[in-house]
Amino acid sequence: MFTTGTFEFLDQLAANNNKAWFEQNKARYDALVREPALDFIEAIAPLLERFAPQFNAIPRKVGGSLMRVYRDTRFSTDKTPFKTNIGMHFRHALGKDVHAPGFYVHIATDECFLGAGCWRPEPEVLAKIRNAIAQQPDKWFAARDSLSAAGWQPWGECLSRPPRGYAADHPAIEDLKRKHFLGLAMLTGAEVMDQDFAALAAGRLAGAADFMAYLCRALEVAY
């Protein structure tokens, strides 16, 4: 699916991040980036369904699991128009945006990784997760540690002080400080270019199943 040509194109896009160059190389983007990504999404869909049936892998050019190549530059000082990575997000069936629990695949020349969890959850979502942890920390510890045991690592910023309403001596206070509830599993370029990458990625994502099931229970949605 993905090849050295995929990574070469992403490097070239980074060096020529402008609309004129992209339009001249649109056919190469389709052949080296978009079509392989859609093939990957199609291949992983039945594998994802085995361990996470509420999460969708949708191989569409627009409105599916493949994230847009166009950057939203409205509130950024970086006005380059295109993303120089491939992002694929497998959303929960009830999730309307990237703030809901989800699985993620990131492919770029500087790093490749899988993600699982909630990135920048909105205040209501964040409060539900924190309350679930505070009320039954042992269940949280089991879910968190299952992620580590499967080779994942926690990611994201934390508050410097305990969030309002939580005791500083709570046994899970360091986790209650989290702004994101997200794990990452790093990938090599060779793994991404392997002909069985969909199976490899599905196997790694399955390692985050208990963690994702915990988040879904905290948010009162089916896993």
Q: Which helix (H) or strand (E) holds 42?
A: helix 35-51
Q: Which helix (H) or strand (E) holds 106?
A: strand 102-107
Residue 117, classed as helix, strand or coil, is: strand
Q: What pLDDT is recorded for position 48?
A: 98
Residue boundaries of the structural domains of the chain: 4-218
DSSP string for residues in 173-201: HHHHTBS-EEEEEEE-HHHHHSTTHHHHH
How far is it, in rounded angstroms, from Cα 49 to Cα 42? 12
Q: What pLDDT is recorded for position 75?
A: 82
Q: What pLDDT is recorded for position 100?
A: 76
Q: What pLDDT is recorded for position 118?
A: 95
Q: What pLDDT is recorded for position 97?
A: 65
Q: What are the Cα distances from residue 154, in Å, to 91, 99, 113, 128, 158? A: 19, 17, 13, 19, 11
Q: Which two tokens stand for residue 113?
A: 């990784």
Render pLDDT for 101-160 as a digit per residue (tens, 0 to 9): 999 999 999 999 999 999 989 999 999 999 999 999 999 999 999 999 999 999 999 999
How far is it, in rounded angstroms, from Cα 4 to Cα 2? 7
Q: Out of 3.30.70.20, 3.30.930.20, 1.10.3720.10, 3.40.140.10, which CATH number does the structure's domain 4-218 have? A: 3.30.930.20
Q: What pLDDT is recorded for position 96?
A: 72
201 close to 105: Cβ distance less than 8 angstroms: yes
Q: What pLDDT is recorded for position 73?
A: 85
- Helix %, strand %, coil % for the chain, to 5? 45, 15, 40
Q: Which two tokens stand for residue 129?
A: 């997760």
Q: What pLDDT is recorded for position 98?
A: 61
Which segments of the chain have a pLDDT < 50? none
Q: What pLDDT is recorded for position 155?
A: 93
